[in-house]
Amino acid sequence: MMRHLRPLGWVLLAGLLLSTRCNRDVQDIPYVPVDFTLNVNLPAYMNLSVPTGYVLVAGGSRGIVVYRYTTDTFVAFDRHSTYDIAAGCQVQVSDDGIFLVDPDTCSTSQWYIFDGTVAEGPATLSLHRYYTSWNPPILRVYN
């Protein structure tokens, strides 16, 4: 029966097998609906009033870090470590504020706070990013 597959059939079959094999080790953090707003003028969010400021808020799978990248750009990441998702480790902001780091008991992986990509360690997946919408002074974070 395989001898009678047309070239398009072979391409589709090969694509299916490759996509199944490549995604075998990809894990996703648990989906949690996220949709909230922050008023950056409130004292609780004062750190977001300038670029490079961040706040930790409740929500998502293991909490969310909101970071002000530029005057008009914010990013928000779930604090659920992507190294061993089942372990449920929660990343912390490094002392210098440049990285999000896994606790020593997890993997010691590091992700850049401004884009969530892996900077160091055994982790290979970026942190889960939420959408943001900026309408001064209100920041919306959602998925």
**What is the pTM (predicted TM-score) of this model?**
0.81
pLDDT tens sequence for the chain (143 residues): 455 545 544 444 444 444 443 443 455 899 999 999 999 999 999 999 999 999 999 999 999 999 999 999 999 999 999 999 999 999 999 999 999 999 888 999 999 999 999 999 999 999 999 999 999 999 999 99
Domains of the chain, CATH where assigned: 28-142 (2.102.10.10)
Give me the DSSP letters along 42-99.
SGGGGGGGSTT-EEEES-TTT-EEEEE-SSS-EEEEE-B-SSSGGGT-B-EE-TTSSE
Question: What is the pairing mode between strands 74-78 and 92-93?
Answer: unpaired
How many helical (H) and strand (E) elements, i.e. helices and strands, does the chain have? 1, 10
